[in-house]
Chain A
Amino acid sequence: DGGITQSPKYLFRKEGQNVTLSCEQNLNHDAMYWYRQDPGQGLRLIYYSQIVNDFQKGDIAEGYSVSREKKESFPLTVTSAQKNPTAFYLCASRDGGTLMNTEAFFGQGTRLTVV
C-alpha cells in the first residue's frame, strides 16, 4: 500500500542531544513537508522541499535541519539549538506540479519528548 511512514511513533531524548525523525513515502510525490504541532495548537511549517536536493525554510526553521537526497525520504534533525523541542511532528507529501487541487498526505506523526 502507498503511504507515508514516520518512525518512531514515540521518541524520548535527553536535553542537549540531536535527534533525527524519519519520514519515508512511496507515493512518488515531489513535495514533502515537516510540521510541528504543540498541544491544542495548529500546524506550524518547519521545512518543505519541492524537489530532490532542494528545500526551503518554513516559519519555525531555527534549531532544525533537513536533507532531501532521495525523492522518497525527508529526514528532520532536531538539534540542541531548538529550545523547546518537545512536540508532535508531522510529515506530509504532495504530488508536485502546478495543479492547485492536489492535497497533502500525512504520516502518523512522531511524538518527541525531551527530558
Chain B
Amino acid sequence: AQKITQTQPGMFVQEKEAVTLDCTYDTSDPSYGLFWYKQPSSGEMIFLIYQGSYDQQNATEGRYSLNFQKARKSANLVISASQLGDSAMYFCAMREGSGSRLTFGEGTQLTVNP
C-alpha cells in the first residue's frame, strides 16, 4: 500500500509568493520521521527539512517550514518568498520506527514564474 501520497503532480507559483506542497502519509507506528527533499533538474537530491512524530512544534529551516497535522496525517511543505531557483521536483519521505526503510512519495514539480 502506498504510504506516502503527494497529490499535486505540478504546481506553479509567482516569484516572491508562498507555496504549499501537500504530503499525506499512512502508518500505524507511533514513532516515525518525515523528510522533504528537493531535486533540481541536475538530479541530485537535497535534504530540506525534517519533522519527527513526537515533535511538539512544526519544523522550520530558513524559508522552509512544515505544516504538521498529526491527526490528519499530513506534513505539508511551505516555501515562503519563492525564488526562481526553487523550481524543482520536491519529494516527501517517511521512515517508520527504528528501522532503516525510507519510502518516498511520487513528488511535486514546482515551477516558479518571474
Do the two chains belong together in a single complex? yes
Which residue numbers of A lie inside 8 Å of B, CB to CB? 31, 33, 35, 40-45, 48-50, 56, 58-59, 88, 90, 92, 94, 96, 98, 100-101, 103-106, 108-109, 111
Chain B residue numbers with a CB within 8 Å of A56 are 101
Interface pair B103/A45, CB less than 8 Å apart: yes
Interface pair A43/B91, CB less than 8 Å apart: yes
CA distance A108 to B43 in the complex (A): 7
CA distance A59 to B4 in the complex (A): 13
Known: A42-B91, A88-B43. A100 touches B32 (CB 8 A): yes
> Which among A44, A92, A94, A106 has the greatest number of chain B C-beta atoms within 10 A?
A106
Interface pair A45/B106, CB less than 8 Å apart: no
> Which among B31, B95, B109 has the greatest number of chain A C-beta atoms within 10 A?
B95
Checking B6, B44, B102, B106 against A104 with a beta-carbon cut-off of 8 angstroms, the contacting residue is B102
Give the interface SS of chain A, mostly helix, strand, loop or mixed: strand
Known: A43-B91, A106-B45. A100 touches B52 (CB 8 A): yes
Chain B residues numbered 37-51 whose CB sits less than 8 Å from any CB in chain A: 43-45, 47, 50
State the Cβ distance, B98 to closest chain A Cβ, in Å.
4
Known: A100-B31, A101-B33, A103-B47. A42 touches B101 (CB 8 A): no
Interface pair A92/B107, CB less than 8 Å apart: no
Chain B residues numbered 58-114 whose CB sits less than 8 Å from any CB in chain A: 91, 95, 98-107, 109
